[in-house]
Amino acid sequence: MARKREPPRSPRQKKTPSASGPSAEQDHGYVKMRAQLVQLGLQLREIPGDGNCLFRALADQLTGCAGDHKIHRRETVDFIVQHRDEFEPFVEDDVPFDRHVACLVDEGTYAGNDSIVAFARNHGVTIVIHQLEAPLWQIPGDPDNLAEAPQLHIAYHDGEHYNSVRRMGDLGQGPANVYINLEAPTKPPTTSAEEREVMARSRCADLAEVRRALNDCAGDVDAAAEFLRALNWGQEVDDAPAAPSSPHQLTKAAAVATAAKLRNDKNAGQVAGRLDRRQRRSEERDRRRRRKASAESGELGSSPPAAVGHLAALTI
Protein backbone atom coordinates (compact mmCIF):
# COMPACT_ATOMS: atom_id res chain seq x y z
CA MET A 1 0.00 0.00 0.00
CA ALA A 2 2.54 2.53 -1.21
CA ARG A 3 1.69 6.02 -0.10
CA LYS A 4 3.18 7.69 -3.16
CA ARG A 5 0.70 5.97 -5.50
CA GLU A 6 -2.31 7.54 -3.80
CA PRO A 7 -4.07 10.80 -4.68
CA PRO A 8 -2.78 13.88 -2.88
CA ARG A 9 -5.59 14.37 -0.42
CA SER A 10 -7.88 12.27 1.78
CA PRO A 11 -10.98 14.23 2.81
CA ARG A 12 -12.95 12.36 5.45
CA GLN A 13 -15.10 14.86 7.26
CA LYS A 14 -18.82 15.02 6.65
CA LYS A 15 -19.75 18.14 4.71
CA THR A 16 -22.97 19.84 3.79
CA PRO A 17 -23.31 19.83 0.00
CA SER A 18 -23.48 23.28 -1.53
CA ALA A 19 -26.83 24.21 -3.04
CA SER A 20 -25.23 26.67 -5.44
CA GLY A 21 -23.94 25.70 -8.87
CA PRO A 22 -20.27 25.45 -9.81
CA SER A 23 -18.25 28.64 -10.13
CA ALA A 24 -17.02 29.94 -13.46
CA GLU A 25 -13.54 28.61 -12.63
CA GLN A 26 -14.94 25.16 -11.87
CA ASP A 27 -16.97 25.22 -15.09
CA HIS A 28 -13.80 25.98 -17.04
CA GLY A 29 -11.99 23.18 -15.22
CA TYR A 30 -14.72 20.71 -16.14
CA VAL A 31 -14.57 21.75 -19.80
CA LYS A 32 -10.79 21.23 -19.78
CA MET A 33 -11.17 17.86 -18.05
CA ARG A 34 -13.70 16.72 -20.65
CA ALA A 35 -11.33 17.79 -23.43
CA GLN A 36 -8.49 15.89 -21.74
CA LEU A 37 -10.60 12.73 -21.53
CA VAL A 38 -11.66 13.04 -25.17
CA GLN A 39 -8.02 12.41 -26.10
CA LEU A 40 -8.42 8.94 -24.57
CA GLY A 41 -11.87 8.34 -26.08
CA LEU A 42 -13.48 8.84 -22.67
CA GLN A 43 -16.11 11.10 -21.11
CA LEU A 44 -17.32 12.11 -17.65
CA ARG A 45 -20.41 10.70 -16.01
CA GLU A 46 -21.19 13.27 -13.35
CA ILE A 47 -21.86 12.11 -9.79
CA PRO A 48 -23.73 14.16 -7.13
CA GLY A 49 -21.49 15.92 -4.61
CA ASP A 50 -23.25 14.63 -1.51
CA GLY A 51 -20.33 13.11 0.40
CA ASN A 52 -20.89 9.72 -1.25
CA CYS A 53 -19.27 10.63 -4.57
CA LEU A 54 -16.34 8.21 -4.32
CA PHE A 55 -18.50 5.17 -3.62
CA ARG A 56 -21.12 6.27 -6.17
CA ALA A 57 -18.43 6.65 -8.85
CA LEU A 58 -16.86 3.28 -8.04
CA ALA A 59 -20.27 1.58 -7.97
CA ASP A 60 -21.09 3.06 -11.38
CA GLN A 61 -17.81 1.68 -12.70
CA LEU A 62 -18.17 -1.78 -11.16
CA THR A 63 -21.85 -2.55 -11.77
CA GLY A 64 -23.43 0.52 -13.36
CA CYS A 65 -25.61 1.08 -10.29
CA ALA A 66 -24.39 4.14 -8.40
CA GLY A 67 -27.28 3.72 -5.97
CA ASP A 68 -25.44 0.76 -4.41
CA HIS A 69 -22.93 3.12 -2.79
CA LYS A 70 -24.11 2.22 0.73
CA ILE A 71 -23.31 -1.45 0.16
CA HIS A 72 -19.86 -0.65 -1.20
CA ARG A 73 -19.14 1.74 1.67
CA ARG A 74 -19.99 -0.92 4.25
CA GLU A 75 -17.94 -3.62 2.46
CA THR A 76 -14.96 -1.27 2.16
CA VAL A 77 -15.04 -0.30 5.83
CA ASP A 78 -15.33 -3.99 6.79
CA PHE A 79 -12.22 -4.71 4.68
CA ILE A 80 -10.31 -1.91 6.42
CA VAL A 81 -11.30 -3.22 9.84
CA GLN A 82 -10.33 -6.79 8.90
CA HIS A 83 -6.89 -5.53 7.80
CA ARG A 84 -6.41 -3.04 10.60
CA ASP A 85 -2.67 -3.65 10.93
CA GLU A 86 -2.14 -2.55 7.32
CA PHE A 87 -4.42 0.50 7.32
CA GLU A 88 -4.09 1.97 10.81
CA PRO A 89 -0.63 3.56 10.21
CA PHE A 90 -2.11 5.60 7.36
CA VAL A 91 -4.99 7.22 9.26
CA GLU A 92 -4.38 10.96 9.05
CA ASP A 93 -4.70 13.83 11.51
CA ASP A 94 -3.92 11.61 14.53
CA VAL A 95 -7.52 10.38 14.59
CA PRO A 96 -7.90 7.08 16.50
CA PHE A 97 -8.55 4.17 14.16
CA ASP A 98 -11.85 3.16 15.79
CA ARG A 99 -13.18 6.70 15.50
CA HIS A 100 -12.03 6.95 11.89
CA VAL A 101 -13.89 3.82 10.75
CA ALA A 102 -16.96 4.73 12.86
CA CYS A 103 -17.19 8.02 10.92
CA LEU A 104 -16.32 6.46 7.58
CA VAL A 105 -19.19 3.99 7.71
CA ASP A 106 -21.75 6.83 7.98
CA GLU A 107 -23.43 7.81 4.73
CA GLY A 108 -22.32 11.26 3.57
CA THR A 109 -18.83 11.06 5.08
CA TYR A 110 -16.22 11.87 2.48
CA ALA A 111 -13.86 8.94 1.82
CA GLY A 112 -10.28 9.13 0.66
CA ASN A 113 -7.09 7.22 0.00
CA ASP A 114 -7.55 4.33 2.40
CA SER A 115 -11.02 3.64 0.99
CA ILE A 116 -9.69 3.60 -2.58
CA VAL A 117 -6.93 1.15 -1.67
CA ALA A 118 -9.33 -1.06 0.29
CA PHE A 119 -11.91 -1.07 -2.51
CA ALA A 120 -9.27 -1.99 -5.09
CA ARG A 121 -7.88 -4.84 -2.99
CA ASN A 122 -11.30 -6.14 -1.97
CA HIS A 123 -12.44 -6.42 -5.61
CA GLY A 124 -9.08 -7.24 -7.22
CA VAL A 125 -9.28 -4.26 -9.59
CA THR A 126 -6.97 -1.44 -10.62
CA ILE A 127 -8.45 1.97 -9.90
CA VAL A 128 -7.23 4.60 -12.36
CA ILE A 129 -7.66 8.22 -11.26
CA HIS A 130 -7.77 11.01 -13.83
CA GLN A 131 -6.85 14.54 -12.74
CA LEU A 132 -6.65 17.74 -14.74
CA GLU A 133 -3.25 18.20 -16.41
CA ALA A 134 -1.69 15.48 -14.25
CA PRO A 135 -0.40 11.93 -14.82
CA LEU A 136 -2.76 9.03 -14.22
CA TRP A 137 -2.71 7.55 -10.72
CA GLN A 138 -2.91 3.76 -10.50
CA ILE A 139 -4.15 1.99 -7.37
CA PRO A 140 -3.58 -1.74 -8.03
CA GLY A 141 -5.72 -4.11 -6.03
CA ASP A 142 -3.75 -7.09 -7.33
CA PRO A 143 -0.18 -5.98 -8.19
CA ASP A 144 0.77 -9.50 -9.27
CA ASN A 145 -1.97 -9.49 -11.92
CA LEU A 146 -1.82 -5.88 -13.07
CA ALA A 147 -2.12 -6.64 -16.79
CA GLU A 148 -5.22 -8.82 -16.36
CA ALA A 149 -7.02 -6.96 -13.56
CA PRO A 150 -10.18 -5.03 -14.53
CA GLN A 151 -9.81 -1.24 -14.45
CA LEU A 152 -12.17 1.22 -12.78
CA HIS A 153 -11.74 4.82 -13.99
CA ILE A 154 -12.72 7.83 -11.91
CA ALA A 155 -11.91 11.55 -12.12
CA TYR A 156 -10.77 13.65 -9.16
CA HIS A 157 -11.73 17.34 -9.25
CA ASP A 158 -10.53 20.31 -7.21
CA GLY A 159 -9.27 18.10 -4.38
CA GLU A 160 -12.76 17.22 -3.20
CA HIS A 161 -14.99 15.47 -5.73
CA TYR A 162 -15.05 12.25 -7.77
CA ASN A 163 -16.88 11.50 -11.02
CA SER A 164 -17.13 8.30 -13.02
CA VAL A 165 -15.29 8.03 -16.36
CA ARG A 166 -16.80 6.06 -19.24
CA ARG A 167 -16.15 5.44 -22.92
CA MET A 168 -17.25 8.20 -25.26
CA GLY A 169 -20.92 7.75 -26.09
CA ASP A 170 -21.56 5.20 -23.32
CA LEU A 171 -24.97 6.03 -21.87
CA GLY A 172 -25.63 2.52 -20.57
CA GLN A 173 -26.42 1.39 -17.04
CA GLY A 174 -24.09 -1.60 -16.92
CA PRO A 175 -20.43 -1.93 -15.88
CA ALA A 176 -18.17 0.67 -17.46
CA ASN A 177 -15.61 -1.86 -18.77
CA VAL A 178 -13.05 0.85 -19.56
CA TYR A 179 -9.54 -0.37 -20.25
CA ILE A 180 -6.52 1.58 -21.44
CA ASN A 181 -2.93 0.42 -21.87
CA LEU A 182 -1.22 2.09 -18.94
CA GLU A 183 2.21 0.98 -20.15
CA ALA A 184 1.91 2.61 -23.58
CA PRO A 185 3.73 5.93 -24.00
CA THR A 186 1.48 8.97 -23.94
CA LYS A 187 1.21 10.51 -27.40
CA PRO A 188 1.20 14.29 -27.72
CA PRO A 189 -2.19 15.82 -28.58
CA THR A 190 -2.84 15.97 -32.32
CA THR A 191 -5.78 18.34 -32.05
CA SER A 192 -5.99 22.08 -31.58
CA ALA A 193 -7.39 23.73 -28.47
CA GLU A 194 -10.50 24.75 -30.44
CA GLU A 195 -11.06 21.19 -31.67
CA ARG A 196 -10.69 19.77 -28.17
CA GLU A 197 -13.15 22.32 -26.78
CA VAL A 198 -15.72 21.51 -29.47
CA MET A 199 -15.27 17.77 -28.82
CA ALA A 200 -15.75 18.25 -25.08
CA ARG A 201 -18.80 20.50 -25.38
CA SER A 202 -20.52 18.52 -28.14
CA ARG A 203 -19.41 15.08 -26.90
CA CYS A 204 -18.53 14.20 -30.48
CA ALA A 205 -15.44 11.96 -30.66
CA ASP A 206 -15.19 12.04 -34.46
CA LEU A 207 -12.30 14.41 -35.15
CA ALA A 208 -13.07 14.62 -38.87
CA GLU A 209 -16.67 15.61 -38.10
CA VAL A 210 -15.45 18.23 -35.61
CA ARG A 211 -13.09 19.72 -38.18
CA ARG A 212 -15.83 19.83 -40.81
CA ALA A 213 -18.14 21.58 -38.35
CA LEU A 214 -15.49 24.16 -37.47
CA ASN A 215 -14.85 24.74 -41.17
CA ASP A 216 -18.58 25.07 -41.93
CA CYS A 217 -18.96 27.49 -39.02
CA ALA A 218 -15.94 29.60 -39.98
CA GLY A 219 -14.02 28.60 -36.84
CA ASP A 220 -16.78 29.66 -34.42
CA VAL A 221 -16.39 27.22 -31.49
CA ASP A 222 -19.83 28.00 -30.01
CA ALA A 223 -21.61 27.49 -33.33
CA ALA A 224 -19.67 24.30 -34.16
CA ALA A 225 -20.45 22.75 -30.77
CA GLU A 226 -24.13 23.68 -31.03
CA PHE A 227 -24.33 22.31 -34.57
CA LEU A 228 -22.73 18.97 -33.57
CA ARG A 229 -25.09 18.60 -30.62
CA ALA A 230 -28.03 19.03 -32.99
CA LEU A 231 -26.48 16.71 -35.58
CA ASN A 232 -25.69 13.99 -33.03
CA TRP A 233 -29.22 14.19 -31.63
CA GLY A 234 -30.47 13.74 -35.18
CA GLN A 235 -28.38 10.55 -35.47
CA GLU A 236 -29.94 9.18 -32.29
CA VAL A 237 -33.42 9.93 -33.65
CA ASP A 238 -32.53 8.24 -36.96
CA ASP A 239 -31.46 5.06 -35.19
CA ALA A 240 -34.52 4.87 -32.94
CA PRO A 241 -37.29 2.52 -34.10
CA ALA A 242 -40.64 3.99 -35.14
CA ALA A 243 -39.50 7.56 -34.50
CA PRO A 244 -41.93 10.31 -35.56
CA SER A 245 -40.93 12.55 -38.45
CA SER A 246 -41.22 15.84 -36.54
CA PRO A 247 -37.96 15.42 -34.53
CA HIS A 248 -36.07 15.25 -37.86
CA GLN A 249 -37.55 18.58 -38.82
CA LEU A 250 -36.73 20.10 -35.43
CA THR A 251 -33.17 18.81 -35.64
CA LYS A 252 -32.75 20.19 -39.13
CA ALA A 253 -34.16 23.55 -38.09
CA ALA A 254 -31.83 23.75 -35.08
CA ALA A 255 -28.74 22.93 -37.11
CA VAL A 256 -29.64 25.30 -39.94
CA ALA A 257 -30.29 28.07 -37.42
CA THR A 258 -26.86 27.43 -35.92
CA ALA A 259 -25.12 27.94 -39.24
CA ALA A 260 -27.38 30.85 -40.20
CA LYS A 261 -26.30 32.56 -36.99
CA LEU A 262 -23.03 33.22 -38.77
CA ARG A 263 -24.89 35.07 -41.59
CA ASN A 264 -23.50 32.59 -44.09
CA ASP A 265 -26.13 31.18 -46.47
CA LYS A 266 -23.63 28.79 -48.04
CA ASN A 267 -22.94 27.14 -44.67
CA ALA A 268 -26.65 26.97 -43.91
CA GLY A 269 -27.24 25.24 -47.24
CA GLN A 270 -24.49 22.71 -46.53
CA VAL A 271 -26.01 21.96 -43.14
CA ALA A 272 -29.46 21.50 -44.64
CA GLY A 273 -28.10 19.22 -47.34
CA ARG A 274 -26.25 17.01 -44.86
CA LEU A 275 -29.32 16.62 -42.68
CA ASP A 276 -31.57 15.97 -45.70
CA ARG A 277 -29.26 13.15 -46.80
CA ARG A 278 -29.23 11.70 -43.29
CA GLN A 279 -33.02 11.83 -43.10
CA ARG A 280 -33.38 10.14 -46.50
CA ARG A 281 -31.05 7.34 -45.39
CA SER A 282 -33.09 6.91 -42.23
CA GLU A 283 -36.36 6.77 -44.17
CA GLU A 284 -34.87 4.22 -46.58
CA ARG A 285 -33.77 2.03 -43.63
CA ASP A 286 -37.29 2.25 -42.20
CA ARG A 287 -38.80 1.19 -45.53
CA ARG A 288 -36.45 -1.79 -45.80
CA ARG A 289 -37.28 -2.87 -42.26
CA ARG A 290 -41.02 -2.62 -42.95
CA ARG A 291 -40.73 -4.61 -46.20
CA LYS A 292 -38.65 -7.30 -44.46
CA ALA A 293 -41.10 -7.53 -41.54
CA SER A 294 -44.05 -7.70 -43.93
CA ALA A 295 -42.41 -10.44 -45.99
CA GLU A 296 -41.55 -12.50 -42.92
CA SER A 297 -45.07 -12.08 -41.55
CA GLY A 298 -46.59 -13.22 -44.86
CA GLU A 299 -44.35 -16.29 -45.06
CA LEU A 300 -45.18 -17.41 -41.54
CA GLY A 301 -48.88 -16.72 -42.01
CA SER A 302 -49.10 -18.91 -45.13
CA SER A 303 -47.03 -21.82 -43.80
CA PRO A 304 -48.70 -24.95 -42.38
CA PRO A 305 -48.14 -25.66 -38.66
CA ALA A 306 -45.54 -28.35 -39.38
CA ALA A 307 -43.44 -25.95 -41.43
CA VAL A 308 -43.60 -23.30 -38.74
CA GLY A 309 -42.47 -25.82 -36.16
CA HIS A 310 -39.58 -26.89 -38.40
CA LEU A 311 -38.53 -23.26 -38.88
CA ALA A 312 -38.59 -22.67 -35.12
CA ALA A 313 -36.43 -25.74 -34.54
CA LEU A 314 -33.86 -24.48 -37.05
CA THR A 315 -33.64 -21.05 -35.46
CA ILE A 316 -33.14 -22.56 -32.00
Split at pLDDT 50, 70, 90, the class of 279 is low
The one-letter code for the residue type at 180 is I
> Is residue 53 flagged as an active site residue?
yes
DSSP secondary structure, 206-253, as one string: -HHHHHHHHHHTTT-HHHHHHHHHHHHHHHHHHHSTT--SHHHHHHHH
Split at pLDDT 50, 70, 90, the class of 224 is confident
Catalytic choice (50, 68, 78, 206)? 50
CA-nearest of 121, 116, 132 to 12 is: 116
Q: Are residues 64 and 109 in the same domain?
A: yes
Q: Are residues 198 and 124 in the same domain?
A: no
Q: Are residues 146 and 212 in the same domain?
A: no
Catalytic choice (53, 69, 157, 204)? 53
Catalytic choice (60, 161, 217, 248)? 161
Q: What is the pLDDT of residues 112-132, one digit of tens each?
A: 899 999 999 999 999 999 999
Q: φ and ψ at 257, to 5 degrees? A: -65, -35
Cα–Cα dist 130/38, whole Å: 12
Cα–Cα dist 57/116, whole Å: 11
Q: Are residues 151 and 25 in the same domain?
A: yes
Quick check: 73 pLDDT over 70?
yes
Q: What is the pLDDT of residues 139-174, one digit of tens each?
A: 999 888 888 899 999 999 888 899 999 998 888 899
> Is residue 238 flagged as an active site residue?
no
> Is residue 68 flagged as an active site residue?
no
Q: What is the pLDDT of residue 315?
A: 30
Split at pLDDT 50, 70, 90, the class of 26 is low
Cα–Cα dist 316/313, whole Å: 5
CA 29 → CA 39, 158, 178, 274, 313, distances in Å?
Answer: 16, 9, 23, 33, 58
Q: Are residues 153 and 255 in the same domain?
A: no
Q: Are residues 203 and 150 in the same domain?
A: no
111 domain residue, yes or no: yes
pTM exceeding the 0.75 threshold for the entire prediction:
no
Q: What is the pLDDT of residue 225?
A: 83
Q: Are residues 89 and 23 in the same domain?
A: yes
Q: Are residues 232 and 157 in the same domain?
A: no
User: How far is CA 300 from its chain centroid?
Assistant: 43
How many domains would you assign to the chain? 2
- Maximal C-alpha separation, the chain: 81
Find all residues with CB under 8 Å of 108, minimum gap 6, and list them. Answer: 14, 50, 51, 52
CATH number of the domain to which 58 belongs: 3.90.70.80
